[in-house]
Copies of this chain bind each other. A is one copy, B any other.
Amino acid sequence: MTNSATNLRLKLPMACIILEVIIIILFGTLVQYDNETDAKHWHKEIANGTSNYDNDFYYRYPSFQDVHVMIFIGFGFLMTFLQRYGFSSVGFNFLIAAFALQWATLMQGFVHGMHGGKIHVGIESMINADFCTGSVLISFGAVLGKTSPVQLLVMSVIEVTLFAINEFIVLSVLGAKDAGGSMTIHTFGAYFGLMVARVLYRPNLDKSKHKNCSVYHSDLFAMIGTIYLWMFWPSFNSAVTAHGDDQHRTAMNTYYSLAACTLATYGLSAVVAHDGKLDMVHIQNAALAGGVAVGTAGEMMLTPFGSMIVGFLAGTISVLGFKFLSPILEEKLKIQDTCGVHNLHGMPGVLGAIVGAVTAALATKDVYGDGMADVFPDIQSGDVEASFQGVRQAISLAVTLGIALLGGLITGFILKLPIYGAPPDTICFEDGIYWELPGEEGSHEELTTVRTPDEAENLNA
């Protein structure tokens, strides 16, 4: 493969600019401020006695910013563990997230209901767009290092669209609950990405194997991502739940689940890793599985006790997945899952969906009181029994898996077309393909930090 194949001078600008122009035109045609961001409408409500302090901005924006940090710093830096792919990890994460959140606003707006032919935007649409973006970034993790930014943009276009459709089916048609997205975000993103990775299987990827690993400082950069994801996951799961006890409880359940998950991760890592030492891959990833696994049930009356059990299980299966399942996925199923998203988002997402179904099926008026109306409005209204809510949740998992796998399959074949400037097998996991690297055109001395004797003299004299 010659260098011209990966030259993006035309392809990337065309992709970015055409997509952005389409988005801007659609926003110009279809998008309006909602009642809380529109000066005229909000001040009509003010005239009717609403207080400026009741604007939802004050009750959602701090959560939004935490989610925003998870999307751009959390996912971005988590993927910098590769020794020579830090620019691409943070940089492509930045690019596709900035694209996906715009595209998601449109797709979610189309699907979830227009207002007089217009999509209304405000803090809730911003959070939901970031959520959808998270799903794309999970899939990005599965194909990290083996795809061009143009491929990633094309994947985002399709995945965001299917995400919105699946989310609509799960939440609106089937009436399932999934505030933190165990199903709609994590399960969907993981299995979509794994299927894309399967179709894009590279039999000769071992030619780049020496770059598919970390170095000391790249692992520290990755820990920035891990810790931010871990800290702000309570905000993620509670960002769009009902106000009051629901947001409060969801955040706290997630906090306990993650804490228990972390202990399980360290314990299991020392068991399975070489010589009783800890493995950074486990710490960076499995310690987060507790957040994924309470994404559905976090808003329910799961109790801190229940949350901790779920977190403990999630950490356990995640570490075991990294140790025992990932090699099988690669060798037998030909799925090269760069970041191990199956272990962090796939299995814990399915676990979260199951926990959600069981917790929903066990809901009683005695436990929820009038709070049932927030968590399970259809049970409160008498439309469904709790047990049937559990069934709805389970069906939603199946639907999500189906759409994710089928969508990933189709997307994989589209991405396989040799027109996107994908890297050759010999130079995957390498920033130099798509980025001007420091010192590349200068002398080698520029790369070093050694002082010349003259300088040293000046400094130490």
Inter-chain CA distance A270–B24, complex, in Å, is: 21
Indicate if the CB atoms of B227 and A276 lie closer than 8 Å: no
A299 to B287, CA, bound (A): 36
Q: Given A16-B263, A91-B278, is A304 in contact with B27 using a C-beta cutoff of 8 Å?
A: yes
Q: How far is the CB of A129 from chain B (nearest CB, A)?
A: 9
Q: Mark A242-260, 1 if CB is under 8 A from B, else 0.
A: 1111111101100110111
Give the docked Cα–Cα distance between A66 and B65 (Å): 9
Interface-forming stretch among A79-87, A158-166, A195-203, A331-339? Answer: A79-87
| Cβ of A293 to closest chain B Cβ, rounded Å | 15
Q: In the complex, are the beta carbons of B441 and A39 less than 8 A apart?
A: no
Question: Which residues of B have CB within 8 Å of A98?
Answer: 258-259, 262-263, 287
- Which of A16, A80, A366, A460 has the most B CB atoms < 10 Å from its CB? A16
CA of A123 to CA of B248, assembled, Å: 7
Is there an interface contact between B437 and A460, defined as CB atoms closer than 8 Å?
no
Question: Given that A252-B122, A371-B42, A449-B216 are known contacts, is A264 also in contact with B16, CB under 8 Å in the complex?
Answer: yes
- A388 interface residue (CB < 8 Å to B): no
Q: Check: A417 CB closer than 8 A to any chain B CB.
A: no
Interface size on A, residues (CB 8 A): 163
- The reply to whether A273 and B46 contact each other, CB–CB distance below 8 Å, is no
A436 lies within 8 A of B283 (CB) = no
Q: Which of B54, B251, B305 contacts A53 (CB 8 A)?
A: B54
**Chain A at the B interface: SS class:** helix
Q: Report B-chain residues with C-beta under 8 Å of the C-beta of A110.
A: none
> In the docked arrangement, what's the CA distance between A73 and B228, Å?
8
Task: Decide if A62 is an interface residue (CB 8 Å cutoff).
Answer: yes
A301 near B: Cβ within 8 Å?
yes
From residue 30 to 89 of chain A, which have CB atoms closer than 8 A to chain B? Answer: 31-33, 36-44, 46-47, 52-59, 61-62, 65-66, 68-69, 72-73, 76-77, 80, 83-84, 86-87
Chain B residues whose C-beta falls within 8 Å of the C-beta of A69 in the assembled complex: 231
Closest-by-CB residue of B relative to A457 is B3
User: Would you call A312 an interface residue if the criterion is a C-beta within 8 Å of the partner chain's C-beta atoms?
Assistant: yes
- A residues 1-26 with Cβ under 8 Å of B? 2-3, 7-10, 12-17, 19-20, 23-24
Instruction: List 15 A–B pairs whose Cβ atoms lie within 8 Å, in order of A's numbering.
Output: A9-B270, A10-B276, A13-B270, A37-B248, A37-B252, A38-B245, A40-B369, A53-B53, A53-B243, A53-B244, A76-B227, A95-B266, A102-B256, A274-B436, A274-B441
- The 4 nearest A-B residue pairs measured at CB: A39-B371, A9-B276, A40-B369, A16-B267
